[in-house]
Structure 1
Amino acid sequence: MSDTAQAVEGEDDGDPLSSAVVPTVGTVLAALTAAALAIPARAGTDELALWIAAVGALLTTGLFLTRRHELIERRIAGPVAAGSSLLVVVLSGYAITQGVYGSVVVPGLEWSISLLFLAFFVGAGTVGLGVAEFAGVSGRGLYRRLALSLELLVLGVIGLFGISIAQLFLSLPVVLTGAELSALQGRLIEYLSFGLGLGAVAAGYLAFRDHDLSFIDLETPTRWTVGWIVLGLGLIFGVNLAISSLMSAAGIEGSSHSLTQDVIDQPELLFVIVPAMVFIVGPFEELLYRNIIQKSLYGTFSRYGAVVVASVVFTLVHIAAYATAGAGQILASLSLLFVLSMILGVLYVRTANLLVPALVHGLYNAVVVLMIIV
């Protein structure tokens, strides 16, 4: 059996309680998703997608419930439950991009909660549970995966703090002298802080986990490497174009990155931004999110399971950068970002060379930024 399969199979330790954890949790979450979709649908929300998604959530509930009582094989229940849950995620996400939130007020607390966002995120969780059930993951295995995923999500968030702290450190001499930075100088410090902050966090985690520099997969480029970089660039631009066209045809609008308006207002910033994307942003983000976070998941998840989890972390950490529009637009942009992140993750899996996703990421960002003023 391959190392990929070993990471996810054969975990049922024979404890009936442990083996029942995944379908039990799946039943609860799928039922919660179905309720979150049914309430706005019954309230008269004019969106067919909600009804179809609710049916998908009910199907998922039934599959997990029958699997809980061993009335159906896990190799049938798992994939079908994952597929129906994915349908729920897609349809509820589509409804959100159309401005349907299904908000309700919590009695006594006066908090407004979007039931559609609840369905979207809980539905995403049931996709993972469907895959876990198919793979025969035990209760202990599920806990181990959740704990590691949370740890690495925290690491991603710490990366943001690392950037802020590095920026404060690099800006301190200027602040103490009372001088004013030009826009170009400020942007230069920002990107130097980006590299310093993410690099320090990556180094700190390597030390925390007792890894040395051999953990970093950096190899001398060859013609094979160049071929993968060219293929990766073609794939990432092609997928971006295809998804953007599909979203446009469906009437889905995305939000712009917070960098967009700065480039429009001050095109001269490109003299700093473009090189920084290639030599700082791409390499250091890929160092943290692919070489550190994704690779750290390999011992617990399958290789491609690690790609998905690392892409979830990458996407969640970028929420603030795309918070320039409404919730639906932010969700649309983050969904595209998630897909592009998975492409970078697959490139890393296939090459085991940080250089490939780093350059694909950096060059992609640089071209996208240049296209803002074209």
Structure 2
Amino acid sequence: MATTSQQREDGPIRSTLVAVGLAAFGILASQFTVLPALLLDPTVITSPLDASIASRTLLLTLNFVGFVLAGAIYLAVTERGRSYVDLRLPTKRGWLYIIAGVLGSFVFYVLVSLVVQLLSLPSAENTVTSYIGDDQTMILVMIGIVFFFNAPAEEFLFRNIVQKRLYDAFSRGQAVVIASAIFALIHVVSYAVSQSLLATVVPVVVVFGGSLIFGYLYAKTDNLFVPIAAHAAFNAIQFGILYIALEYDLETAEPTTSLLVDLAATVPL
């Protein structure tokens, strides 16, 4: 917890600007870390579905490596070091939070899906859908990416770095909301090409809601493993559902893809 003197020295405005800067730095770093994949196979950007699974996997993996790199650089420059990283095996209470987080995410997902369907709301697709298409093998690969790269990298940067940095000037509840808002807003770029403002707003709101859940888990446990596990488990199950939908040619496969990727909260390349 930050002391009162620290809070006065690092006010809300400065703390928020630093948090925004860290998020932007993470995106910028990811643009550099994906360069090897682009050089090895340029079609992974120009025509993703024509690229090999290996090329797509490398690109998506290196994208998340950029988040880890950004966070690591911040810790080194500020001399916070490895001790700043709240990663450890969870207690029994921590495992209960993980289960609750997965269940809470499903409830949120179902509610959002119902609202979208009942109101016939448009929802723009995230860039990552262009790397998956209806390729079932790539869906299985995404499950591995979620567990080993996506969830760990995003939770490390946006929870252990951005959200924790906001603790210096805000209450934990406020920090969760602000960090989630930053996380959602950086996704606007990947939806800005949609045909309507509403189609852009819907997925951004979905990202915000999912981020609130994972941010809350971290705030309550001070253990990065908890939101990582909940995030990875939830998205892995969702990708599994998408795989089954495509396998059996279910009608829900197409509309599920957009919200699925939104809840996976993949930052645009």
For the superposition of Structure 1 and Structure 2, which TM-score range results when normalised by the shorter chain? 0.7 to 0.9
5+ residue gaps, structure 1, are: 12-139, 176-180
Q: Distance in 2 between matches of 1:261 and 1:145?
A: 38
Query: Is it true that 1:372 corresponds to 2:242 in the alignment?
Result: yes
Structure 2 counterpart of 1:154: 21
Q: 2:223 aligns with which of 336, 353, 359?
A: 353
Q: Which amino acid aligns with 1:350?
A: K
Q: 1:260 aligns with which of 129, 135, 158?
A: 129
Query: Is it true that 1:193 corresponds to 2:62 in the alignment?
Result: yes
Q: 2:185 aligns with which of 293, 304, 316?
A: 316
Q: Distance in 2 between matches of 1:7 and 1:344?
A: 29
5+ residue gaps, structure 2, are: 43-49, 246-269
Classify the secondary structure of the residue corresponding to 2:133. Answer: helix
Query: Is it true that 1:145 corresponds to 2:17 in the alignment?
Result: no
Q: 1:334 aligns with which of 204, 219, 224?
A: 204
Alignment of 1:20-31 (within 5 A): none
Structure 1 residue 241, shift from structure 2 partner: 1.2
Structure 1 residue 170, shift from structure 2 partner: 5.1
Q: Distance in 2 between matches of 1:331 and 1:299?
A: 30
Query: Is it true that 1:362 corresponds to 2:229 in the alignment?
Result: no
Query: Is it true that 1:281 corresponds to 2:160 in the alignment?
Result: no
Q: Distance in 1 between matches of 2:76 and 2:159?
A: 17
Structure 1 residue 323, shift from structure 2 partner: 4.3
Q: Structure 1 residues 278-287 or 324-333, which shifts more?
A: 324-333
Q: Which amino acid aligns with 1:160?
A: I
Q: Which amino acid aligns with 2:16?
A: S
Q: Deviations over 1:224-246 (max 9, x none)?
A: 33221111000011012123323
Structure 1 residue 285, shift from structure 2 partner: 0.2
Q: Which amino acid aligns with 1:368?
A: Q
Structure 1 residue 204, shift from structure 2 partner: 0.7
Q: Distance in 1 between matches of 2:208 and 2:57?
A: 27
Classify the secondary structure of the residue corresponding to 1:186. Answer: helix
Is the CA contact 1:163–1:194 (under 8 Å) kept in the aligned structure 2?
Answer: yes
Structure 1 residue 217, shift from structure 2 partner: 0.3
Say how many residue pairs are matched.
Answer: 236
Structure 1 counterpart of 2:33: 166
Q: Which amino acid aligns with 1:212?
A: G
Structure 2 counterpart of 1:299: 168
Query: Is it true that 1:223 corresponds to 2:92 in the alignment?
Result: yes
> Once the two structures are aligned, what percentage of the paired residues are identical?
26
Q: Which amino acid aligns with 2:96?
A: G
Is the CA contact 2:140–2:239 (under 8 Å) kept in the aligned structure 1?
Answer: no
Q: Distance in 2 between matches of 1:233 and 1:314?
A: 19
Q: Which amino acid aligns with 1:219?
A: R
TM-score between the two structures when normalised by the length of structure 2: 0.78
Alignment of 1:237-256 (within 5 A): 237-256=106-125
In structure 2, relative to structure 1, the CA distance for the partners of 1:346 and 1:250 (3 Å cut) is same
In structure 2, relative to structure 1, the CA distance for the partners of 1:195 and 1:259 (3 Å cut) is closer
Structure 1 residue 174, shift from structure 2 partner: 6.7
Q: Distance in 2 between matches of 1:8 and 1:331?
A: 36
